[in-house]
A = this chain, B = another copy of it.
Amino acid sequence: MEKATYKSSGVDLDIYAESMARLPGIVKKTFTPNVLRLDGGFAGLFRLNGAAKAYKDPVLVSCTDGVGTKLKLAFMTGRHSTVGIDLVAMSVNDAICCGATPIFFLDYAAMPKDDPALLEQIVSGIADGCAQAGCALIGGETAILADLYAPGEYDLAGFCVGAVEREDVIDGKAVRPGDRLIGIASSGFHSNGYSLIRKAVFEMAALGVDDVVPELAGKTVGELLLEPTKIYVKPVLKLLERFGANSVVRAIAHITGGGLVENLLRVLPDNCAASFDADAIAPTPLFNWVQRLGNIDDDEMRRVFNMGIGLVLAVREDAAGDVAAFLNELGEEARVIGQVRAK
């Protein structure tokens, strides 16, 4: 009689061990002094206080997100080393909206069979993202789910914890009518709207990932659509250190699904609305390109995409010029795009 084994049921513990052996070297570069080593243990350990900082009344800020169907671009191109940056970005950019410093990150990767080389590419990207965000990659899970994922596909989920002194939590309560809205440029689509993008680009326009788009600097479709999400952690933390949370920087919105208006309204007080300067929020050529390919309505575009602005800050009116200049000095493309008004 046949003997069932874990291997014959699709799970090879030896290849799994090989996969796991490759990871410590990759993740170590993200370790900060507060990571406590516990080899072989069941969890990631992080000492909250340390030489650099001792919190009086710490608030932990936690976020989770995935990459969405941007993953399909990785499958189509065979390039798996940047979706991990997107994974980290989607969570850490949420965490900084509360004024928190991202301190550690964990990932969940699910795939149909063990593939050490693929996992190494994915985790390298996650580690790159964590390094950009200054947070430690202290844990993760690789799930082998033979029957749940198609060959060559996978899903990723990320989880970030940040910390902030309670009195420095940015919750939007400090926002006042007259505050200026400063937009920081996105690096492209980030990780939202890819079902719509893929319908426009691959179904309706029938383009392939290797096709060149002359109007967009001659980049390929694959390059344009895989451009990693910008990570705003370091400039925002520098900004908060320089100008202060709530006194000057009064609300921060990460522009994801829902677009500029919906995401900004999430962080404004109920008695406030926003108006935008029409010329300051004109869509970039990248967004025009997808809109044309998919014949997408203007409203739908604004509801789904960041349209070129990935993060919006509400700042005290008299400091708006200084804040924008400071961000530009840090290499960001930042400008006043509107203002808060009474509702």
A140 at the A/B interface (Cβ < 8 Å)?
yes
Contact A169 B45 (CB under 8 A): yes
Chain A interface residue count, CB cutoff 8 Å, equals: 92
Q: In angstroms, how far is the closest chain B Cβ from the Cβ of A26? A: 17
Which residues of chain A from 1 to 39 have a CB within 8 Å of any chain B CB?
1-6, 8-11, 13, 36, 38
Q: In angstroms, how far is the closest chain B Cβ from the Cβ of A191? A: 10
Set of chain B residues within 8 Å of A149, measured between Cβ atoms: 148
Counted per complex, copies of this chain come to 2
A83 at the A/B interface (Cβ < 8 Å)?
no
Contact A138 B62 (CB under 8 A): yes
Partner of A40, one of B47, B166, B193, B267: B267
Chain B residue nearest to A204 (CB atoms) is B4
Contact B161 A41 (CB under 8 A): no
Q: In angstroms, how far is the closest chain B Cβ from the Cβ of A287? A: 13
A134 at the A/B interface (Cβ < 8 Å)?
no
Set of chain B residues within 8 Å of A172, measured between Cβ atoms: 41
Contact B43 A3 (CB under 8 A): no
A121 at the A/B interface (Cβ < 8 Å)?
no
Q: Check A72/B104 contact, CB under 8 A, given A6-B303, A64-B139.
A: no
Contact B45 A98 (CB under 8 A): yes
Q: Check A143/B199 contact, CB under 8 A, given A41-B98, A155-B110.
A: no
The 11 listed contacts between A and B (C-beta, < 8 Å) are A3-B295, A9-B196, A41-B266, A42-B254, A47-B166, A60-B60, A66-B110, A108-B108, A108-B157, A108-B159, A143-B155
